[in-house]
Copies of this chain bind each other. A is one copy, B any other.
Amino acid sequence: MSEKQYVTYGQSCGCGCGCGLQSPITGCRFSLGVMSDRYIDVILSAVGKVDTSKVWSQTDKLSTLYRGRAVHVEDALKACFIHAYDPDIHMTMEATFSKGCPGDVDADRFMAEDDVLMNEPAIAGVHFPVSAKISLYPMGVENYMQHIAHVVNHAIDLGIYEKSSHYCTILSCDVQALFSYIHDVNEYCAEHISHYIFEITFSVNSPTKE
């Protein structure tokens, strides 16, 4: 009888915090929810239109994952979302940014040396309204609520904050403003938090009006 292969997260450094390993890789795992019989076409077409030459990319049955430098991961995600947008279809996207996970490995990524965005020129002029809920999880630190307050207050400063709700913050704005904000959050977190997760659920064309 073979022994079970358990995971051993948090045991490499003794304290469980993963100190010593600080991965430069930003990852984003996301899933599109396309409320239409045409969902396969919409998703595959959008994923196929993204220039992924500066990120590592993998699609499985649950989600698509981009890994690389933050600016290129953001650029690829934004392109996929915008390419999937159809004014006649209600669509959601659940996206999870993560950086600094102690369980991360220095693999499955492409670290482009330059900042030239591959997708931005094709999508910079596209505008449509988006609702989103966001949640930030700064890991391993006691003062995590202060980091959360910082990014929420930044949304208030930008005028894209709609309201606070249980377990999340609701934003409402143009798609360009939302991705600009996401970039700001990733930049702030990379500078101030060793390991963070930033969750965003986007929604467009919801039939529910509040």
Contact = CB atoms under 8 A, between A and B. Distances in A.
Interface in A85-138: 90, 92, 94, 96, 98, 101-104, 108, 131-133, 135, 137
Given A35-B34, A92-B33, A137-B137, A145 B210 contact: no
B201 A199 contact: no
Contact of A207 (B40, B148, B168, B206): B40
Range class of the A interface residue count: 35 or more
A203 interface: yes
A135 B167 contact: no
Contacts of A131: 61-62
B157 A4 contact: yes
Within the oligomer, what is the number of copies of this chain? 2
A164 to B, nearest CB: 6
Contacts of A45: none
A48 interface: no
Which of A9, A137, A166, A203 has the largest number of chain B CB atoms within 10 A? A166
Interface stretch (A14-22, A74-82, A174-182, A183-191): A14-22
Contact of A61 (B31, B94, B167, B203): B203
A149 B149 CA distance: 29
Interface in A58-81: 59-63, 65, 67
Interface of A: 4-11, 15-18, 27, 29, 31, 33-37, 39-40, 59-63, 65, 67, 90, 92, 94, 96, 98, 101-104, 108, 131-133, 135, 137, 139-146, 148-149, 152-153, 156-157, 164-168, 170, 197, 199, 201, 203, 206-210
